[in-house]
Amino acid sequence: MRNSVRHSQPCSLIFALDGTGSRHCTRADSEASEDEGASDILSHCSSASENVSVAEEGSGNDTQDFLSAQEQREDKLKEDIDNITEKSTKTRVTALGSLRLSLSSQVLSDFLAERRVTLTDALERCLKKGKDEEQSLAATVLSLLCIQLGSGPEGEEVFHCLKPILISILTDSSAGLTARQSCATALGLCCFIAAADVEDLISCLGILEGILTMLYSENNGTPPSQQGLVCCAIQSWALLLTICPASHVKKMLESHLPRLSGVLACEFVSLRIAAGESLALLYELARDLDEDFYSEDTDTLCVTLKQLATDSNKYRAKTDRRKQRSIFRDVLHYIESSEFQEETIKFGLEVMYVDSWACRRTYSSFKEALGSGVRHHLQYNEVLRDIFSLGPPLVLDAAAIKASKISRVEKHMFNSAAFKARTKARNRVRDKRADIL
């Protein structure tokens, strides 16, 4: 069920392999997390991966160094897993944070598959007995664990074991808000990856839908005090909609399309954006079912979207205004013309085009979970490569990697030529302006 639905919403993919060393110009993903700790681990892991290719040239010492570094990383992971069961809350929280960085920046599926029972039991105790911060970290590590294990028997077992606890914390009004937000995100992501049947999917959608119903019922659509929680619930709900059967999508359209528009009037910018992106996704799913889909509220919705796309109120932060205008321009353009503003994601020697709202929601969910490690996982994690139809991980030799890199001299010459061309173009514009004056 899940694979068939995913294939109906594919991401356009181009593998940018060029033996001549030329590079394709792509737009960088500016919203990737800049977590320093994760970046350090990721760069260390990436350099270790490159050492494998170098070792093939005949350097036995490099091979030995790589294996030694790998053993050290595994020893650190074992220590972190053991520390999750310690009595000290500080020790458990530190270990969970370390695991979060390791799992988000490295592909450790084989290592984790052998220890999934131990790690699952430890995460269960942290979720049941821990406080707000510990529960939040445990839910995040659970999401990363499912990303590593995938939709096979191991991932399904972990999801079924911890799903009731996630739901219990999410629906407990006395639980910490940070923990509830992380549980809402984890429930959506883990269900997306590891749900074995439609019943699991529908039940998780129902739980998240309950949070949305709470939003609709308070003050005619103004956000409740738990704005961050509702924002996480909407994003997870939208993620699961991308793999819903058509019959359930029709019910969601009838129930949420009219009421979700009211959320656009709230003051919380992240909640407005989440609602706007979800509306665009609902229209996309509706048009997949019926090309001539039209809602009676479309004209009114477009008026609201135009106001948000041109919002210049000074009481909003400049970054919030800029982000809001950019996203709502895309939402308005799609609802009016059914045209999606394509995004380009580059990782390694490959390029992926995000060309639908369903694919954008899916990529955003994994990017938020993996942070700066998302590109590394797109290169080497078979779970993500299967979800985005990337095929098996590429195996490159040292010559291909070397050919893809631009030397410092070539980079300097390219920048100099671009600077000269830009200066000439600007001078021509200045000359024309002088003539007019």
Q: What percent of the chain has pLDDT over 90?
A: 54
Judge whether 365 and 358 are in contact, CB under 8 Å. Answer: no
86-127, pLDDT tens digit by residue? 999 999 999 999 999 999 999 999 999 999 999 999 999 999
CA atoms within 13 A on the CB side of 56: 11
The rounded distance, in Å, linking the Cα atoms of 158 and 156 is 6
Pairing assessment for the beta strands 343-347 and 12-14 based on DSSP bridges: unpaired
Q: Please state the length of the chain.
A: 437
Q: Per-residue pLDDT averaged across 232-260, rounded? A: 92
Mean pLDDT within 176-193: 96
Predicted pLDDT at 21 = 38
Specify the higher pLDDT residue, 258 or 355.
Answer: 355
CA distance 83 to 96: 9
Which pLDDT score is estimated for 266? 82
The answer on pLDDT for 163 being more than 80 is yes
Specify the pLDDT at position 169.
Answer: 96
pLDDT for res 135: 97
Between CA 136 and CA 335 the distance in angstroms is 36
Summarised one tens digit per residue, pLDDT across range 23-69 is 333 333 434 444 444 444 444 444 444 444 444 444 456 667 767 77
Q: Which burial class, exposed, middle or buried, applies to 96 when counting CB atoms under 10 A from its CB (0-12, 13-18, 19+)?
A: buried
Residue 44: the pLDDT is 44
Q: How far apart are CA 325 and CA 308, in angstroms?
A: 6
Higher pLDDT, 218 or 417: 417
| Per-chain mean pLDDT for the chain | 81
For 318-374, the pLDDT digits (tens) are 777 788 899 999 999 999 999 998 999 999 889 999 999 999 999 999 999 999 999
Mean pLDDT of 260-267: 85
pLDDT of residue 96: 97
Q: Which residue would you say has higher pLDDT here, 82 or 424?
A: 82
